[in-house]
Amino acid sequence: MDELKGIDGSFNGRHFDREIIVLCVRWYLRYKLSFRDLTEMMAERGLALAHTTIMRWVKHFTPEFVKRWNRLALAVGQSWRVDETYVRIRGKWAYLYRAVDRAGKTVDFRLSARRDVAAAKAFLAKAIGTQGRAPGTITLGDYTASHRAVREMKIDGLLPRHTRVRSSKYLNNVIEQDHRHIKSRVNVMLGFKRFRNAVVTISGIELMHRIRKAQFDLTAAHLKDTSAPSIWRTVLSGH
């Protein structure tokens, strides 16, 4: 918890109010808006912003926003649907590994330059670390490398031997539908220039999607005002 104190310091030296910065980052990650769209929208509020300023805010603040929201994350189910989709970076395809539980709640994601056994293992290890426990069941698509990754992780003791593995196109419809929410936002960005920027931005898009799916416990905040700005103010303050 100590490492999350003092977020106000992150806003020191900025020429714009904290609420404006949070609003621009939040709207960029949530809606199909370009940086230039946001500059025009802020101009209607009497604020002169360069689109590159908002771009820097997204890169700088998104990791901290994700960290603070994750403190309130609810546990997901133990039946995971695992699949990968595609994202374009510098004109080349990268692979976005994702998992949801049977109810469609996001388990985790990982962006990889490759689609192979090592990438599948890295994703599953990250997801287990994020959730703090291994799944009871993993449903995979037909991609051979993912099945091999699970087998090898069981042999190496990184995944319990009793974890069930299934291959079902029907059962994986849940995650294939869920991909669409992420891809619809990413696709209008027309590709990323750098891998690191893609990771940061996608983490923010995934965060906004998890918020929409009510994957966070806000009961301890005792919110009187449930508007989005008030909720974000409370979460970021750490109260």
* SS3 state at 164: strand
CATH code, domain carrying 120 = 3.30.420.10
Are 87 and 181 within one domain?
Answer: yes
- For residue 217, the model assigns a pLDDT of 94
**What is the DSSP annotation of 54-120?**
HHHHHHHHHHHHHHHHHTTBPPPPSEEEEEEEEEEETTEEEEEEEEEETT--EEEEEEES--SHHHH
pTM for this model (two decimals): 0.91
- For residue 1, the model assigns a pLDDT of 37
Are 15 and 99 within one domain?
Answer: no
From the CA atom positions of the chain, what is the Rg in Å? 19
- For residue 13, the model assigns a pLDDT of 53
CB atoms within 10 A of CB 134: 17
- For residue 239, the model assigns a pLDDT of 58
- For residue 191, the model assigns a pLDDT of 84
183 lies in a domain? yes
- Joined together, the tokens standing for residue 210 give 């998890």
Are 21 and 67 within one domain?
Answer: yes
Cβ-contact 150, 162 below 8 angstroms: no
202 lies in a domain? no
Are 85 and 156 within one domain?
Answer: yes
Tens of pLDDT along the chain (239 residues) come to 344 455 655 665 566 788 999 999 999 999 999 999 999 999 999 999 999 999 999 999 999 999 999 999 999 999 999 999 999 999 999 999 999 999 999 999 999 999 999 999 999 999 999 999 999 999 998 889 999 999 999 999 999 999 999 998 777 789 999 999 999 999 999 889 999 999 999 999 999 999 999 999 998 778 888 899 999 999 998 75
208 lies in a domain? no
Are 84 and 192 within one domain?
Answer: yes
211 lies in a domain? no
Q: What is the domain extent for residue 222?
A: 2-72+216-237
Domain count, the chain: 2
Are 67 and 92 within one domain?
Answer: no
205 lies in a domain? no
Cβ-contact 61, 8 below 8 angstroms: no
